Amino acid sequence: MSIPTYQLHHLCIYEKSPRNAMWNWLRWNHAIPAYYWEGSADMHHTGEGGVDYTFLACGAPFQMQLETGPYQFEYERKWFAEHDSGINHVCWIVPNAWDTIEPLTANGATVAMPYEQFGNSYNGFVAIDTEGRWIEIMEYVGDFKTPDVEFYPVGPAGLQTLGVVQLCNDLDAQVKWYTEVLGQKIIHDARSDNDGVVYLADNTYDGRQCVSAFATPSIDAEHALIDRHGP
């Protein structure tokens, strides 16, 4: 069975004060391509909570999403109660989200949020990879799409937000899983004895230049974070 293209879309950060936090990014020439709140007509509403998404982007297709409470689902509120503000998940766009459930779970992933159709916006689910990271798998529906920003470096420094670096416990195992199960390719390998960093990309890298990196913790603060929150 061929592996569909898992296209890196955004990094979601749970943030209790997103309108304050976003200025840390905006001063580095980030733009706000989209903002969705619980009154947005396109958004599916569960009745459990609300939607508050602020998307940020900088000179490339990869985006960051600042999300704040009350959140749509109880499992999200439980995560925030345990971890507070922090990285919650990485999102991947696929042609058909439903078709990825069996291959992911057959290779060790578990499902945190079952597949759901979110009205006329997107369909998808949230899985947990083999080290406990949340990964959102989604497909767009119809003409809905988080707007892209213009794709060229911005500001005097020529900034581009290309992707995310994630800490892991077993670097070799995670590189193997993401290449074999999500079809990522290695574009730069700087590891030795299961230590270091590896940069991965999907097969649209030549056009989009979005990167997902995995690394082992290298400083005390990183070790403390992974001990407290996990990978």
Domain boundaries, the chain: 7-140, 163-229
Judged against a pLDDT cut of 70, whether residue 30 lies above it is answered with: yes
pTM to 2 decimal places: 0.90
Residue type, 74: E
Closest to 77 (Cα-Cα) out of 111, 117, 55, 50? 50
pLDDT digits (tens, 9 = 90+) for 137-153: 999 998 888 877 777 78
pLDDT digits (tens, 9 = 90+) for 148-205: 777 778 888 888 899 999 999 999 999 999 999 999 999 999 999 999 999 999 988 9
Residue type, 91: C
* pLDDT score recorded for residue 148: 76
Angle at 164 between CA 216 and CA 67, to 5 degrees: 120
DSSP 8-class letter at 98? G
Cα separation, 209 vs 189, whole angstroms: 17
Q: What H or E segment, with its residue span, contains residue 101?
A: helix 101-106
Judged against a pLDDT cut of 90, whether residue 36 lies above it is answered with: no
Closest to 118 (Cα-Cα) out of 135, 141, 96, 101? 141
- Selected from 3.50.50.60, 3.90.70.10, 3.10.180.10, 3.40.220.10, the CATH number assigned to the domain covering 7-140 reads 3.10.180.10
* pLDDT score recorded for residue 39: 56
* pLDDT score recorded for residue 179: 98
- Phi, psi (5° rounding) for residue 55? -95, 135
Judged against a pLDDT cut of 80, whether residue 42 lies above it is answered with: no
26: CB partners within 8 A, 6+ apart: 32, 56
pLDDT digits (tens, 9 = 90+) for 57-93: 998 889 999 988 777 778 888 888 899 888 999 999 9
Q: Predicted confidence band at 50 (pLDDT cuts at 50, 70, 90)?
A: low
Q: Predicted confidence band at 224 (pLDDT cuts at 50, 70, 90)?
A: very high
Judged against a pLDDT cut of 60, whether residue 41 lies above it is answered with: no
Domains 7-140 and 163-229 share a fold: yes
Beta bridge partners of 41: none
- Phi, psi (5° rounding) for residue 61? -65, -30
Q: Most confidently modeled of 47-56, 69-78, 116-125, 196-205?
A: 196-205
Question: DSSP of 12-79, one letter per residue?
Answer: EEE-S-HHHHHHHHHTTT-EEEEEEETT-TTS---SSS--EEEEEE-SSS-EEEEE-TT-SSHHHHHH
Q: Predicted confidence band at 40 (pLDDT cuts at 50, 70, 90)?
A: low
* pLDDT score recorded for residue 77: 85
Higher pLDDT, 54 or 183: 183
Judged against a pLDDT cut of 80, whether residue 217 lies above it is answered with: yes
87: CB partners within 8 A, 6+ apart: 11, 12, 13, 14, 164, 166
* pLDDT score recorded for residue 95: 95
CATH superfamily, with its number, for domain 163-229: 2,3-Dihydroxybiphenyl 1,2-Dioxygenase, domain 1 (3.10.180.10)
